[in-house]
Structure 1
Amino acid sequence: MAGIDAYAAYLPAYALTHNTLDGPPRSRGIARSVAGFDEDVITMAVEALRQLSDPSGDRLLLATTSAPYEAKTSAGVVHEALGLDAGVAALDLRGHRSGATALDLVTRAGGYAALADLRTTRPGAPDELAQGDAAAAFTGGGERAAELLARAGHTTELLERWRLPGERHDRVWDERFTADILAAAGLDAARRALTAAGLDAADHVVVSSSNARAAAALRRALGGSGEDGKLEKATGFTGAAHPGLLLADALDRAEPGQSILLVSATEGADAFVFRAGAGVREARSGPSVRAQLEAREELGYGRYLRWRGLLDVQGPARPAAPAPAAPPMVRRAGWKYRLEGSQCGACGKVTTPPSRVCAACGIAGDGTAKVSLRDRTATVVSVTRDHLTTMPEPDVAIVVVDFDGGGRLSAYATPGTGAIAVGTAMEPTFRRMWTTDGIHNYFWKLRPAKDSTDGE
């Protein structure tokens, strides 16, 4: 079966609506989705994939243009954080067209895929607010969410958006030159896909393109409602994640049996025709794309620049956090990536980090079992604030929590969680702690649970 069995989308909790440095903020009527300073492609992919209730398959694909590592496979870290079987292959797909490629592979060959990107431009760039951060995840091998009716592609070599090794920001050619070429490629792929599907038009048309002019032209030519254009004004173009984000939003809105035409026009074009499945409502994991838009917090431009490292400010006079070493990362992988504790076979208590000696009864032996705490809710028992943090915030919260079912953890809270009190319900989230000596240190932070209430 060629299709999508389940899907989920992840939008970070922040939105940037202006990039004004001098004078009062001037809104341009658009916003970009902004990941936290402790988020990147890996953490957003984990966030999206964790929402899928039962990811299955023999391969994990990670599509992105902004992988945290060169040469090293970023999908391997995602694989470890999800606790997947060692027999599941973890593969990176790179480039602006990689999102469409991942969708093609997962719908036709099964497995699961994460499309994730973190977009950064130079401060004040014309398209600074037109770029955004997001992730989407899909499980193939079934048709509960959607059946793939047809797919067509159009490849053309075009110098439109590129980045040299070691560079941080994309270089962009004048969009007026490339718009017509991308629009023609997208129209050709869309018409061939519709013909192969036996359709004259689709009920829902969504267009993703790295060129805003090409996207607008394709929507007009294909009879799109412009809903994806409205979404893009609230998120920005999210790179390799954008086709997945638009498809997730279309599936959120589609009725069973309706057709969806997805066109991605970047370095050529890819077109997909889906038919929404009978179980499309049950296939979504987590909140809808539009619901996540409503829940975002507006971010100041100065704070955004600090988070991205685009504004160099003096931090506290303290040494940088130490870099993690490879041997202990392997030995303690269960704790570091999956937040595993050890459950005592004698008293049933959970010890964190895992140990052969129970912290509760003191019995040592081989009767302990590993239990993952990453999907459990925890309750705050202590809160303090670190005012000498090396993170790009003036202070961050450190909380001690007790997990439901046992286990205690002292960890950082995510940014923007200032209302934490004793008794607040928290949940773990995978984040990048810091980077030292070229090594990214990933671990789990805590954020208020979606249904949390503060203690009295």
Structure 2
Amino acid sequence: MPEQNGIGAYAAYLPAYALTGTSLDGAEPPPGGPARGVAAFDEDTVTMAVEALREIAAGTPAGRQLLLATTGAPYDGKTSAGIVHEALGLDPGVAAADLRGHRSGAVALDLVLRGGATAALADVRTTRPGAPDELAQGDAAAAFTAGDAAAVLLARAGRTAEVLDRWRLPGERHDRVWDERFTAEILVASGREAARRALAEAGLDAVDHVVVASSNARAAAALRRALGGSGADAAVERLTGHTGAAHPGLLLAATLDTARPGQTILLLSAAEGADAFVLRAGDGVGSARGGRPVREQLAARQDLAYGRYLRWRGLLDVQGPARPAAPAPAAPPMHRRAGWKYRLEGGRCDACGAVTTPPGRVCASCGVAGGTGGGEKVTLRDRVATVVSVTRDHLTTMPEAEVAIVVADFDDDGLGGGRLSAYAADVEPAAVTVGMRMRPTFRRLWTTDAIHNYFWKLRPWGATTDDD
């Protein structure tokens, strides 16, 4: 258990794409309008959770929990958090569990703050084309580990209200929404009472930062006014959309990015009731973040055309190439080669020290047989590689006209290097060049026979994408 209830480290992950308009006729959206984050066609809640957690979760000790909070897990009946656990290479003694529903993000935060868990809050939000809130929903992930460096919990209060606000039936893809004028009254009443109780328990009349997360825009605006919020959280939301279960975590991460030690934060999540947390920024808040700040990620996003977004989401049915679907992965080899598939582990040769990928019985460098079989396993997932060749595939079964496949050599750094052949991600195929620096990113390659095939791709690594 942490010495104090609170947050030891945090991170946020925003996809590389933003949608600013919903016109199919090419009309330009008005300047300064809202935008939503869009997960790429090969991303889902599992892959985004891995990207958010990979910077901060490595030290999660056995006996703790790894939680995935989402409204859109890629599997029903199977624990999606287990895939995240495997990709991060966590101790097998760390229990993995899913939390579902619109309130699950706040519950996951509570279990981090008071129970010492490690959690990822991730969601991919999809509406029907033309829905009034199409740009008001978005995709993102946030991650938190227990401790007290980033923030300390001063008080917490919650209220439950059974209300038909936002829901969908099993097998449905899009949420149904009741008239927000009715549900806003219930959520505002729950939110104000939860905030009042939390502030009273903390002994505070006011705080330095007010953060409100609610998919009901009318309720969120009313609660911000009632609690004296500055609107900084609303400004972030206008550029991301409401990111479902991830939203309270995303807005909290954006606030911690700018908070100074000792400042107080009221985080209020209004969904089927309300959850209020009063936090004090820790002495280490400035160094507790993993990865880039939220606003820096927002500034680096690429604009996405509406038609491309519809193809990615499967909302626009287009004719693909006459090419058979990729074969489905099988359970036995996935289990036997989990180190390579999920953690991108190569084998270091006992004879020459080079790394062979995937691990094999013969060293790819010196040719010694058996040298990598029992040798040290080296993970390449957090290392940077340089592209040495590029191929552009124009017959891909993915929802793109073409994709780039690269061969890249990993930096040696005294660890033996290694080579990877992989798809390029988050970059136009024509922009991929020999010499480009890239870093692995966990993605979903395809889905066949109801089995999701996860592996690592390579995305550009540099001043415009990530910190080196």
Shift of 1:300: 0.4
Structure 2 CA distance for partners of 1:101 and 1:21, relative to 1, 3 Å: same
Contact 2:60–2:90 (8 Å) recurs in 1:
no
Residues 215-256 of structure 1, C-alpha deviations (whole Å, 9 max, x = no match) = 000000000001111111100000000000010011111111
Aligned to 1:386: 393
Give SS of 1:316's match.
Answer: coil
CA distance in 2, matches of 1:196, 1:256: 21
- Could you tell which deviates more after superposition, 413-422 or 200-209? 413-422
Q: CA deviation at 1:23?
A: 5.5
Q: Distance in 2 between matches of 1:104 and 1:260?
A: 15
Alignment check: 8 A CA contact 1:55 1:112 kept: no
Match status 1:146 vs 2:163: no
Report what 1:278 is aligned to.
283
Provide the secondary structure at the position in 2 that maps to 1:323. Answer: coil
Q: What is the alpha-carbon distance in structure 1 between the residues aligned to residue 280 and residue 463 of structure 2?
A: 34
Post-superposition Cα deviations, 1:333-385, rounded to whole Å, max 9, x if no partner, equal: 01100001110011111111101321222223355211101111111110010
Give the letter for the 1:403 counterpart.
F
Q: Give matches, 1:234-273, under 5 Å.
A: 234-273=239-278
* Equivalent residue for 1:24, pick from 13, 22, 27: 27
Name 2:342's counterpart in structure 1.
Answer: 337
Conserved in 1, the CA contact under 8 Å of 2:440 and 2:456? yes
Counterpart CA distance in 2 for 1:357 and 1:22 is 56
**Within 2, Cα distance between the matches of 1:201 and 1:416?**
45
Please show how residues 11-410 of structure 1 align to structure 2 within 5 Å: 11-22=14-25, 24-27=27-30, 29-52=33-56, 54-57=58-61, 58-140=64-146, 142-365=147-370, 366-405=373-412, 406-410=417-421
| 2:11 corresponds to which of 1, 8, 12 | 8
The farther-off stretch of 399-408 and 142-151 is 399-408
Distance 1:452 1:3, change over 3 A: closer
**TM-aligned CA deviation for residue 10 of structure 1:** 0.6
Paired amino acid for 1:48: A
CA distance in structure 2 between the aligned counterparts of 1:211 and 1:111, rounded to whole angstroms: 28
Secondary structure, aligned partner of 1:314: coil
Letter in 2 for 1:99: G
Q: Structure 1 residues 12 and 299 mapped into 2: Cα distance closer, same or farther (>3 Å)?
A: same
**Offset, 1:111:** 2.6
Q: Which residue of 2 aligns with 1:437?
A: 449
In structure 1, give the amino acid aligned to 2:312: W
After TM superposition, the runs of 4+ consecutive aligned structure 1 residues lying more than 4 A away are none
Quote how far apart the aligned CAs of 1:25 are.
3.1
Q: 2-side partners of 1:302 and 1:367: how far apart? A: 50
- TM-score calculated relative to the size of structure 1: 0.97
Distance 2:76 2:339 in 1: 25
Q: Secondary structure at the match of 2:352?
A: coil
User: Percent identity, aligned pairs only?
Assistant: 75
Give the superposition deviation at 1:451.
Answer: 4.2
In structure 2, how many angstroms separate the alpha carbons of the residues matched to 1:248 and 1:368? 40
Name the amino acid aligned to 1:438: A
Any idea what the Cα deviations from partners look like across 1:180-219, whole Å, max 9, x if unmatched? 1101100000000000000001110010001000000000
Instruction: Identify unmatched segments of 5+ residues in structure 2.
Output: none
* Cα deviation, residue 54, structure 1: 4.4
Give the conservation status (yes or no) of the 8 Å contact 1:356–1:368: no
Alpha carbons 1:387, 1:394 under 8 Å: kept: yes
Aligned-residue RMSD, C-alpha: 1.3
Contact 2:427 2:460 in 1 (8 A): no
TM superposition shift of 1:421? 1.1
Q: State the aligned residue count.
A: 452
